């Protein structure tokens, strides 16, 4: 059989049109159906932190490090000790993120307290907004996550986070951060930090669950988020937060 | 004369337009081909269902969910270790999770015989929570451990699961 040049072009053209139409169709409709017990639409995760209960033991830092294999010297959560003088000048220390707790304080005559910090799981997160490739995102249940296989390691988000909650993983060279223990909370467990907090100073909460104690908590307590003027939509609420905390 | 010579007939007109615009059709074909190739490459490069929930790869959610669990959670411990659970519930450590003192034990909970846990190092354990510090909430029981214990380990006087003597 002879194939003329004209035939080749015509057949080639038809195939090309078909293939591109198919490719586009598959792109649009290729979504996998969610068939599971855990429904993302039914949850909206956050955390409450009660400053007056934190004893600075560092259990949360160790737990997070173990659970998530956080490299040495990097932290997804850490605890700061504030020592605030009368003119509201804070002195802050956090030896190695408080992974081994704190040495006893030597200061006297100052107001002092512990502040556990972690990703605020912002609803309008600046880190997500600056990502050029869609590697970091807010999940449908309100957790800010990083797609390790999609991250370029450009560090825009590390700079954009007003709370300093992101770091570049020294081995993978991709950005890493608190996942709110997404692998645990989607299975009905609490986060590693909350599991190991001896005093209940930090508690995982689900704003969409009408039975969650968070609703009672927010009704009865004076709470604050960190850097509210940044309008990040932070979902970690601090009870009895001092004005000196940044 | 000139007029009629240059006025084409109707069906001739269509063909004329087609042949005359050959220089337009060829680039148009190239454009369509380029568009087709673009669409194919785009479909190959962009991950499946990208954008289903937002500007990201939805499969990433599942990948993150499949990470291994390291802390079993105390509901598990309590199922097997009835005695310790009862002792603890009666005392002031009732709300301190097992793994807060014993460390991560999911491997033990999954297969108790294969992973027998080491017991906590009492010398450091209690101190981390109970060492006196002005930054601790005043209501929390704290001691200056060096003075308080007189050099003995804490569990020679206190029972860890129920610290009251």
CB spacing of A187 vs B69 below 8 angstroms: yes
Per-residue model confidence (pLDDT) at position A52: 94
**CA trace torsion A219, A223, A226, A230 (10° rounding):** 60
Domain boundaries, chain B: 2-47, 121-159
Average pLDDT of span A173-196? 96
Alpha-carbon gap: A230 to the closest alpha carbon of chain B (Å): 23
Give the separation between CA B81 and CA B75, rounded to whole angstroms.
10
Predicted TM-score (pTM) of this structure: 0.88
In sequence order, the β-bridge partners of residue A224 are A238
Interacting residues of B137 by C-beta distance below 8 A, sequence separation 6+ = A52, A53, A54, A55, A113
Fold of A27-73+120-241: Alpha-Beta Plaits (3.30.70)
Task: Give the pLDDT confidence of B5-49 residue by residue, as tens digits.
Answer: 555 556 667 777 777 887 888 889 899 999 999 999 998 988 888
Residue pointed to by tokens 């989607």: A186
Q: Do A27 and B135 touch (CB under 8 A)?
A: no
CB pairs under 8 A between A and B: 165
Q: How far is B70 from chain A (nearest CA, A)?
A: 5
Domain residue extents for chain A: 27-73+120-241
pLDDT (mean) for B62-84? 94
Mean pLDDT, range A43-62, rounded to an integer: 96
Task: State ipTM.
Answer: 0.82
Rounded Cα distance between A180 and A187, Å, is 13
Q: Is the pLDDT of residue A188 over 50?
A: yes
Q: Residue A30 and residue B32: Cβ atoms within 8 Å?
A: no
Residue B52 has pLDDT above 80, yes or no: yes
């Amino acid at each position: 059989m002879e194939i003329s040049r004209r035939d080749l072009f015509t057949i080639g053209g038809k195939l090309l049109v078909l293939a591109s139409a198919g490719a586009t169709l598959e792109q649009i409709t290729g979504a996998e159906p969610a068939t599971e017990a855990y429904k993302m639409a039914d949850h909206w995760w956050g955390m409450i932190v009660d400053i007056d209960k934190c004893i600075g033991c560092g259990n949360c830092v160790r737990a997070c490090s173990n659970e998530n294999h956080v490299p040495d010297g990097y932290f997804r959560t850490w605890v700061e000790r504030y020592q605030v003088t009368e003119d509201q000048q804070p002195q802050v220390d956090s030896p190695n993120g408080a992974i081994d707790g704190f040495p006893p304080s030597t200061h006297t005559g100052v107001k002092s307290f512990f502040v556990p910090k972690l990703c605020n799981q912002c609803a309008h997160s600046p880190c997500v907004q600056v990502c050029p490739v869609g590697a970091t995102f807010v999940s449908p249940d309100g957790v800010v996550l990083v797609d390790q296989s999609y991250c370029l390691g450009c560090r825009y988000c590390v700079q954009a986070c007003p709370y300093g909650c992101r770091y570049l993983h020294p081995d993978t060279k991709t950005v890493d951060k608190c996942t709110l223990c997404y692998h645990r909370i989607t299975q009905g467990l609490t986060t590693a930090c909350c599991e190991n907090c001896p005093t209940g100073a930090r508690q995982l909460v689900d704003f969409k669950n009408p039975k969650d104690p968070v609703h009672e908590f927010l009704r009865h307590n004076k709470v604050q988020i960190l850097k509210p003027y940044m309008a990040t939509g932070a979902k970690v609420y601090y009870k009895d937060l001092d004005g000196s905390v940044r | 004369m000139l007029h009629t010579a240059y006025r084409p007939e109707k069906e001739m007109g269509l063909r004329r337009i087609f042949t005359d615009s050959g220089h337009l059709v060829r680039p148009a074909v190239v454009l369509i081909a380029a568009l087709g190739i673009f669409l194919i490459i785009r479909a190959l490069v962009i991950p499946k269902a990208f954008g289903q929930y937002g500007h990201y790869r939805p499969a990433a959610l599942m990948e993150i969910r499949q990470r291994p669990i390291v802390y079993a959670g105390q509901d598990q411990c309590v199922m097997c270790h009835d005695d310790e659970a009862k002792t603890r519930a009666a005392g002031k450590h009732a709300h301190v999770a097992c793994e807060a003192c014993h460390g991560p034990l999911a491997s033990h909970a999954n297969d108790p015989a294969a992973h027998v846990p080491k017991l906590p190092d009492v010398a450091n354990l209690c101190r981390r929570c109970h060492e006196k510090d002005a930054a601790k909430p005043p209501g929390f029981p704290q001691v200056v451990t060096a003075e308080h214990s007189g050099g003995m380990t804490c569990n020679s006087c206190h029972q860890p699961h129920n610290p009251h003597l």
